[in-house]
Amino acid sequence: MAIYNLGSVNIDHVYRVPHLPEPGETLAATSFNSGLGGKGANQSIAISRAGAQVFHIGAIGADGIWLADRMADAGVDTRFLSVIDVPTGHAIINVDDEAENVIVLFTGANRALTEDMVSKALGDAGAGDWLLLQNETNLGVYAAKAAKAKGMRVAYAAAPFDAEAAAAMLLVADLLAVNDIEAAQLSKALGVSTTDLPVAQVLITRGAEGATLQTGDEMISVDAFKVDPVDTTGAGDTFLGYFLAAIDLGKPAKDALTFASAASAIQVTKVGASVAIPDADAVVAFLNR
């Protein structure tokens, strides 16, 4: 099987700050770095490093060609990552000394995809393959419907949270992935409890409190591994990428959750998003310890 990820690719500008800035405050950063980011790119790299096959569907501008090279170096198939005449998306990320972050996002090329790009990318996909989606690109519902028509399974991460987009995607998703804040927001918007969300499977990540997977009446939970976090940027993307890869590779749900929890625990102990995502060997070694 394979995973097709219709997801964002961004240039991340990361500023280390003593605290997150208040309104009207000018704050001096203690360090700066720039690199590959975007929820989609992070997820694709996590999937690849977990050992699954992943095709990334997306768009970048000419200023972001180096991002495609880095994704390919990480094992991501980028044949469906188009270069278009729109600037590459980027994110301004402030990270404080407690490893918390605040992110400002410019979507750029991520929201300039065409139906033709998506249709061509899914041309060889088939029953049993996964399509992964989130809210940083356009054409999510279009892609999901095309995937379902081919017998694919659809996973949807409702981030950045948008109640209207989430409500539309739940009609075509098999797996919903949210953090605990997004789960509460979606529950409030739809007027139902998180246990009654209209989707077959609900994956909720809860940071240091672990994660849960609900399938019908069954609830599977795992604890978070205790580590000293340095930067939590991309932790949720790492978790979801590893979880979906593990499921695609045939691991039982409990094992997939544990695998993903370990990967995200390693990831937060390093600075950066995609550069901090571990490979499967490192995760196995972590679990063996």
What CATH number corresponds to the domain at position 244? 3.40.1190.20
Question: Contact 143/131 with Cβ under 8 angstroms?
Answer: yes
Task: Check residue 105 and give its pLDDT.
Answer: 87
201-205 and 175-179 as β-strands: parallel, antiparallel, unpaired? parallel
Number of domains in the chain: 1
Per-residue pLDDT of 118-161, as tens digits, reads 999 999 999 999 999 999 999 999 999 999 999 999 999 999 99
SS (H, E, C) the chain: CCEEEECCCEEEEEEECCCCCCCCCCCCCCEEEEEEECHHHHHHHHHHHHCCCEEEEEEECHHHHHHHHHHHHCCCEEEEEEECCCCCEEEEEEECCCCCEEEEEECHHHHCCCHHHHHHHCCCCCCCCEEEECCCCCCHHHHHHHHHHCCCEEEEECCCCCHHHHHHHCCCCCEEEEEHHHHHHHHHHHCCCHHHCCCCEEEEECHHHCEEEEECCEEEEECCCCCCCCCCCCHHHHHHHHHHHHHHCCCCHHHHHHHHHHHHHHHCCCCCCHHHCCCHHHHHHHHHC
Residue from 72, 64, 66 nearest 45 by CA:
72
Nearest to 264 by CA among 206, 199, 214: 206
In the prediction, which pLDDT does 66 show?
A: 97
Q: Does the predicted TM-score (pTM) go above 0.85?
A: yes
Active site annotation includes 196: no
Average pLDDT over residues 263-276: 93
- The pLDDT, as a whole number, for residue 99 is 85
Q: What is the mean pLDDT of the chain?
A: 95
Q: Which pLDDT value is given to residue 77?
A: 98
What's the CA gap between 267 and 270, in Å, rounded?
6
Q: Which one of the listed residues 12, 237, 248, 279 is annotated catalytic?
A: 237
Share of the chain above pLDDT 70, in %: 100
Residue numbers of the domain that contains 253: 3-288
Q: Quickly state the pLDDT bin for 103 (edges 50, 70, 90).
A: confident
Over 86-107, what HEC string results? CCCEEEEEEECCCCCEEEEEEC
pLDDT of residue 273: 85
In the β-sheet with 10-16, what is the strand arrangement from edge to edge? 31-37, 10-16, 89-95, 101-106
Task: Give the pLDDT of residue 231.
Answer: 87
pLDDT class for 271, splitting at 50, 70, 90? confident
pLDDT of residue 44: 98
Percent of the chain with pLDDT over 90: 90
| Tokens matching residue 252 | 């039982």
Q: Which of 64, 63, 7, 76 is nearest to 36 (CA)?
A: 64
Residues 204-215 pLDDT 10s:
999 989 999 999
Q: How far apart are CA 60 and CA 83, in angstroms?
A: 5
| Residue 245's pLDDT band (cuts 50, 70, 90) | very high
State yes or no: pLDDT of 272 exceeds 90.
no
